[in-house]
Amino acid sequence: MSYELPDEGQAPIEFRPSAEAQVVAEGPRDLALVFLGGSLVAGVGDPKGQGWVTRVVGRTQHPDLELTAYNLGVRGDTSADVLHRWTTEVPSRWSGRSERRIVVSVGTNDVLQGISLARHRLNLANLLDDAATAGVGTFVVSPPPTDDADLNSRLEVLVEAQADVCGRRDVPFVDSFTPLAGHDQWRTDLAASRVAHHPGQAGYGLIAWLVLHHGWGPWLQIS
C-alpha cells in the first residue's frame, strides 16, 4: 500500500469509512479523541515536543467540533499493552463525552520484543472489535520504517498484516511505512536523531501529513 507525500510518491488510496461511530445531530459535536500506542505516539525524539499527534490535533480544530484530545502514548508499549490499556485507561477519557473515537498506532515494539505476528494480529483485531461493539470509531496508523534494515524487513510484514486486519473491518488505515521507506528527508531525519529508530521534527511532520491527507477529515466528518 503506498501513499502520496509532498513532492513525491504515488496517488492517495481511496478512503473507506468505518461506520461504527455516532455523531451528534445538532450543535457542536462533543468529541473525545484518544491516541493510543507507544513512543512514536508520545513523540519521543522530537526536539519540539510535538510528535505527529500534536500536529494532527492542531489541524483538527473545527467550528463544529468541541474536541478533547488525549495522548496515551507509552514508551515501550506493545499491542498487548495497548489492548490492556484500552480497557483500563481509555474509558475514563470518555466520561461526559457524547462522541468517542480512538486512534491506534503500535507495532515496532512487538517486533523488538518477539511478539508473534499471529498474536499481534489478534491483539489488534480484539481491540478494533471491542471498539466497534462499544460504538467507538477507530483509526489505525502503521509504524513507520526505522534506521535498521533487518527490523524494517520484519516491520514490512507486520504493516501488511495490519492493513489486512483493518481492511476486513472497514477501519481506516494509514500505511506510514511504505511511503517513508525510500523518502530522503525521512532517512536524513532518522540519521540525525539522538533516539534510535525515532525521527525528529521533520520526520514526525511527515507522519502527520500522511494521517491528515489519507482519510482523517472524512473519518471525523469534517471538511
pLDDT band of residue 61 (cuts 50, 70, 90) is confident
| Mean pLDDT computed over 39-67 | 94
Cα separation, 82 vs 87, in Å, equals 9
Say what the pTM is. Answer: 0.88
**For residue 149, what is its C-alpha cell?**
534494515
- In this predicted structure, which of 14-18, 53-57, 79-83 has the lowest mean pLDDT? 14-18
Task: Specify the DSSP element, H or E, that contains 60.
Answer: none
Residue that the C-alpha cell 470518555 belongs to: 94
The 10s digit of each residue's pLDDT in 168-179 is: 999 999 999 999
Type of residue at 138: T
Cα-Cα end-to-end distance for the chain = 25
What pLDDT is recorded for position 94?
87
Cα separation, 97 vs 93, in Å, equals 8
| Beta strands at 4-5 and 8-9: parallel, antiparallel or unpaired | antiparallel
pLDDT band of residue 40 (cuts 50, 70, 90) is very high
Q: Are 38 and 76 in contact (CB under 8 A)?
A: yes
The 10s digit of each residue's pLDDT in 151-160 is: 999 999 999 9
